[in-house]
Amino acid sequence: MSKLICHQENVNESNIQELMDVCPFDAIENNNGIIEINAGCKMCKICVKKGPKGVMEFIEEKVVEVDKDLWKGIGVYVDHVEGEIHPVTMELIGKAKELAAVVNFPVYCVFIGHNITEKAKELLYYGVDEVFVYDYEELNDFRIEPYTAAFEDFVNKIKPSSLLVGATTIGRSLAPRVSARFRTGLTADCTVLEMKENTDLVQIRPAFGGNIMAQIICPNTRPQMSTVRYKVMNAPEKQCEPSGKITICELDRTKLTSKIDVLKITKKEVEENISDAEVIIAVGRALKSEKDMAMIQELADLLDAQIAGTRPLVESGWINAKKQIGLSGRTVKPKLIITLGISGAVQFAAGMNSSERIFAINKDPNASIFNVAHYGIVGDIYEIVPQLIEDIKNSNAQICAR
Amino acid sequence: MEILVCIKQVPGTSKIEVDPITGVLKRDGVDSKMNPYDLYAIETALRIKEQKGGTIKVISMGPPQAKEIIKEAFMMGADEGALVSDRKFAGADVLATAYTISQGVLKMGKFDLILCGKQTTDGDTAQVGPEMAEYLGIPHIANVLKIIELKEKSVVVEMDMPNTLEIAEIQFPCLLTVEKDIFQPRLPSYRKKVSTKDREIKIISLKDFEDQDEKRYGLTGSPTQVERIFPPSVNNDRETWTGTGAQLSFKMSEKLKQLKFV
Ligand SMILES: Cc1cc2nc3c(=O)[nH]c(=O)nc-3n(C[C@H](O)[C@H](O)[C@H](O)COP(=O)(O)OP(=O)(O)OC[C@H]3O[C@@H](n4cnc5c(N)ncnc54)[C@H](O)[C@@H]3O)c2cc1C
Ligand SMILES: Cc1cc2nc3c(=O)[nH]c(=O)nc-3n(C[C@H](O)[C@H](O)[C@H](O)COP(=O)(O)OP(=O)(O)OC[C@H]3O[C@@H](n4cnc5c(N)ncnc54)[C@H](O)[C@@H]3O)c2cc1C
Ligand code: SF4
C-alpha cells in the first residue's frame, strides 16, 4: 500500500505551522508537537511537493498492472429509449474514432434493448467497425440489473480497452454499476479525452460545480470508463454508404431478471424556464411589431432555444414577464445567448454577462452590448435573421456525391 | 421500515479556486456543510417513516469533523448515525468510496431502503450510489423525482429519463438516489438538537470491516488517479464582425455550426 509518511525529526517550531497550512483539506494535525494525518487527507501530495523540505514523503508501492495488450478497441454505449437513439451516441462514436486512430483500435458499439436490430443499422453510417446487439424482450425498458448483465457480457466477450457512455440519466446510472462490477475506474462528465500511445486515456472533467478542472487517468485497470455529456464532442458526418457489421449476441436469459417493473412512460413536457435554458434568443426594442415574434420563434425552434427579452419588450406585452433577463428579471447562464437589437444597458447585461457564448446583433457599432459580446455583429436584425434561418435550414441537408 | 441515508460533508462554498501557477487549491477559510443534495434524501426518509414507521440511520464516510453533519441529521429527525473513518481510507475515488461505505453498511444492520443524494457539490460524480448498490447486490434507481406509493414489499417511484418520465416499481431492499425538490427539506429543530446532543455516533474503521484487505481502500484501492487540477479557461475572445446582411448571417451560421449549436 502506498503511504504518506511524516519525518517527525524534521518538524520543528519554525515549520510546523507552514506544514499545517499547506494542506488544503485540513488533514495535518499538531498533536503536542507530533504530526498526525487525519482521515480528511485526500492524498493530493501537496504537502510533499509544497510543504517544508524533507518533512512529508510519499512512498509509492508498485501496483500490479493489467496486461493492457489483452484489452483492445473502444466501446460506445448506444443510449436510447425504446430504440430511439440519443444523439450523444453519434458524438461519442466521433470521439471514439479519433481516439482509436492513435493506437489503431477498432470502434465498437453495444446496443442493449428490444426490437432494436433494425435500428442498429443506422449506426453503420457513422463509421463503427462492429455493433453488438442484445435484443431481448426483458431489455425493453431500461432496468438496471438486466442492462448491467448485457453490458457485462459485452465487456467479457470483447475486452474493450476504453468505454464511452453518454452522461444522460441512463448512462449515469448504468456506467457506475458496470465499473463497480469490473472494479475499474469511471470518470464522470469528461469534457476532454485524449489517447496515449500506451492506450491510457487522459480524461479531463470539471468538478466543484465547474470551478476547477481535474485531469484523471486510470492506468492500472481495464476497461477504463468515461461518461461524457451531450453536445461536448463532435458527431462524425453521416456517410452515404454503411460500413462495419452487426453481431447479434446471445445471453443466458436467467441473467435478465429484474426486481424493477416499469409501469408507465410519459414524454417529458419541456419546462420553459430561462434560468435553466442552454440556448437563449434575447430580443430587444429593435423589434418593430409583435408579429415579428414569428421570425424570432422560427430561429428559436431551429436552435432549440428559449426566447427571452429586455424590460421594454415585457412592458409591451410581447413576451411574458418570466422571460425578462436582468436586474429586475432573471439571471441566465446559458451555453449560448444571441441578443437581437438590445442596447446592453447594465441592468440587462448584469443578468446575462456570464453566459458561455454571447452573440449580439445591433446596428449601432457603439452599442454597449458589444462590450460583453464574444461575437459582436454590426448589422440589422431584419436583414440578418431571415437569412440566418435559411442558412441553418440548408446546413441540415446532406451532400452525398455518388 | 429500516432506512439508511448516505450523507457527505462538503466544503461550505463551491467557489473553490485553484492557483493557476502552483495548481494548489486556495481554501480561504472554507468551512464545511452537509452536501445540500443529501438534505433531500434525509427528508425523503423522514416522510417515508411518517407513513410506515421504522428507523432512520445515517452513514457518512469522512474525517472526524464529519460528525457535525450526522448531528445535523439527528436535528432533522434521524435516529442513529455512524461515521466511517480511517486514515487508510484517504485518497479514495468513487470505487473505493463506494466499497468502503458498503462495508460500513454491512456493519450497521439490514436495510429495506438506502437513500443517496443525486450528487455532491464537490466531487460531483453522482456515481457513489449506483456503485454502492452493485457492491451490496441490490437494485437501484437513480434520479428519483417522486415517491408515488409505498407498498409492503416495494416502492413505486417516478424517475427522470433522458426524454421521458417513467413510473417504476422496485422491490426492497433497494437503493434510490433522489433529485433535488423531491420534498422540501425541513430545518433542523432546536428541540431535537437539545435532545440528541449526547447521542452516540459510532465510528467504524477498517478493523471493524469484514474485508480488511488494505489494497481495496483509500488511494491504493482507487483505479482513478487525479494527475492535476487547474482552473477552467474562460472564453474572453471578443470579435466584431461587419459586412452585408448575407455575409454576416453566413458567418454566423458557420460559427454556430462549428460550436455545435446547429
Ligand atoms: C432600476 C432599473 C431596473 C431595470 N431592470 C431591467 C431588467 O431587469 N432588464 C432589462 O432588460 N432592462 C432593465 N432596465 C431597463 C434598462 O435600463 C434598459 O432601458 C433596457 O434594458 C433597454 O432595452 P433594449 O436594449 O431592448 O432597448 P434600447 O435600449 O432601446 O435598445 C435597442 C437597441 O436596438 C438597436 N436596434 C434598433 N433597431 C435595430 C435593427 N433593426 N437591427 C439591429 N439593431 C437595432 C439599437 O441600436 C439599440 O441599441 C432597468 C432599468 C432600471 C432603471
Ligand atoms: C476534482 C475531483 C474530481 C474527481 N473526479 C472523480 C472521477 O471522475 N471519478 C472518480 O472515481 N473519482 C473522482 N474523484 C474522487 C471522488 O470525488 C471522491 O471519491 C468522492 O468520494 C466521490 O464522491 P462524489 O463526491 O463524487 O459523490 P457523488 O457520487 O456525487 O455522491 C452521490 C451521493 O452518494 C453519497 N455519498 C457520496 N460520498 C459519500 C460519503 N463520503 N459518505 C456518505 N455518503 C456519500 C451521498 O448520498 C451523495 O449525495 C474526484 C475528486 C476530485 C477532488
Ligand atoms: S496529501 Fe494532501 S490532503 Fe493529504 S495531508 Fe498532504 S496536503 Fe493534506
Give CA torsion, residues A343, A349, A352, A356, to 10 deg. 80
Grid-cell match 484489452, residue found:
A71
Give the whole-angstrom CA distance, residue A124 versus residue A111.
12
For ligand 3, atom 3: residue with the closest CA: A41
Question: Residue A293, Cα to own-chain centre: how many angstroms?
Answer: 33
Output the nine-digit C-alpha cell for A162. 476504453
* pTM to 2 decimal places: 0.81
Please give the single-letter amino acid code of residue A400.
Answer: C
Question: Residue A13, Cα to own-chain centre: how many angstroms?
Answer: 48
**Ligand 2 pocket, residue B100 CB under 6 Å:** no
**Ligand 3 pocket, residue A45 CB under 6 Å:** yes
Give the E-state strand segments of chain B in sequence order.
Answer: 2-6, 9-11, 17-18, 25-26, 32-34, 55-61, 80-84, 113-117, 140-150, 154-160, 164-171, 174-178, 202-204, 225-230, 239-241
User: Which of A43, A55, A58 is the pocket-test mutation for ligand 3 (most atoms within 8 Å of CB)?
Assistant: A43
Answer yes or no: do B131 and A177 touch at CB < 8 A: yes
Output the nine-digit C-alpha cell for A181. 462490477
Q: Please determine, for residue A263, whether its predicted confidence score (pLDDT) is greater than 90.
A: yes
Please give the single-letter amino acid code of residue B188.
Answer: P
Give the whole-angstrom CA distance, residue B78 versus residue B81.
8
The proportion of chain A whose per-residue pLDDT surpasses 70, expressed as a percent, equals 97
Closest CA relative to residue B90, chosen from A238, A26, A35 = A26
Residues 6+ apart with CB under 8 A from B117: B6, B7, B8, B35, B36, B37, B38, B39, B40, B41, B129, B177, B178
pLDDT digits (tens, 9 = 90+) for A184-200: 999 999 989 999 999 99
Grid-cell match 493557476, residue found:
B20
Residue B129 pLDDT: 98
Residue B26 pLDDT: 59
pLDDT digits (tens, 9 = 90+) for B27-39: 545 678 999 999 9
**A contacts of B248 (beta carbons < 8 Å):** 361, 377, 379, 383-384
Residue B98 pLDDT: 98
What sign for the dihedral angle of Cα B240, B245, B247, B250?
Answer: positive
The proportion of chain A whose per-residue pLDDT surpasses 90, expressed as a percent, equals 67
Answer yes or no: do B165 and A384 touch at CB < 8 A: no
What sign for the dihedral angle of Cα B130, B133, B137, B138?
Answer: negative
Residue A201 pLDDT: 97
> Whole-angstrom distance between the N-terminal and C-terminal Cα of chain A?
61
- Report yes or no: A20 at the B interface, CB cutoff 8 Å: no
- Report yes or no: A8 at the B interface, CB cutoff 8 Å: no
- Report yes or no: A59 at the B interface, CB cutoff 8 Å: no
Element (H, E) at A153: helix A144-158
Paired residues of A85 in beta bridges: A80
Residue B91 pLDDT: 86
ipTM of the complex: 0.90
Q: Please determine, for residue A110, whether its predicted confidence score (pLDDT) is greater than 70.
A: yes
Answer yes or no: do B224 and A217 touch at CB < 8 A: yes
- Closest chain A C-alpha to B191 CA, distance in angstroms: 31
Output the nine-digit C-alpha cell for B36. 445540500
Contact B145, B158 (CB under 8 A): yes
**B contacts of A63 (beta carbons < 8 Å):** 220
Which of B163, B212, B215 would you mutate first to test chain A, the one with the most A CBs within 10 A?
Answer: B163
pLDDT along chain B (262 residues), means of 10: 96 68 56 93 97 97 93 97 93 95 96 96 92 97 96 96 92 96 92 92 96 92 89 77 93 90 86
Contact A162, A226 (CB under 8 A): yes
- Closest chain B C-alpha to A353 CA, distance in angstroms: 11
Question: In this structure, how many other beta carbons lie within 10 angstroms of the beta carbon of residue B195?
Answer: 12
Q: Please determine, for residue A206, whether its predicted confidence score (pLDDT) is greater than 90.
A: no
Element (H, E) at B194: helix B190-195
Residue B14 pLDDT: 60
What is the pLDDT averaged over residues A344-357? 89
Ligand having the closest approach to the CA of B223: 2
Residues across chain B: 262
Residue B31 pLDDT: 79
pLDDT digits (tens, 9 = 90+) for A38-48: 877 877 788 88
Give the whole-angstrom CA distance, residue B20 versus residue A98.
29
HSE value, Cβ hemisphere, 13 Å, CA-based, for A289: 1
How does residue A1 score in pLDDT terms, banded at 50, 70 and 90? Answer: low
- Report yes or no: A260 at the B interface, CB cutoff 8 Å: yes
HSE value, Cβ hemisphere, 13 Å, CA-based, for B246: 0
Residue A397 pLDDT: 65
Element (H, E) at B192: helix B190-195
Give the whole-angstrom CA distance, residue B61 versus residue A108.
38
Residue A47 pLDDT: 87
Instruction: State the pairing for strand pair B17-18/B25-26.
Output: antiparallel
**Ligand 3 pocket, residue A28 CB under 6 Å:** yes
Contact A255, B262 (CB under 8 A): no
What sign for the dihedral angle of Cα A10, A11, A14, A15?
Answer: positive
Give the whole-angstrom CA distance, residue A122 versus residue B49.
49
Grid-cell match 459580446, residue found:
A373
Residue B24 pLDDT: 58
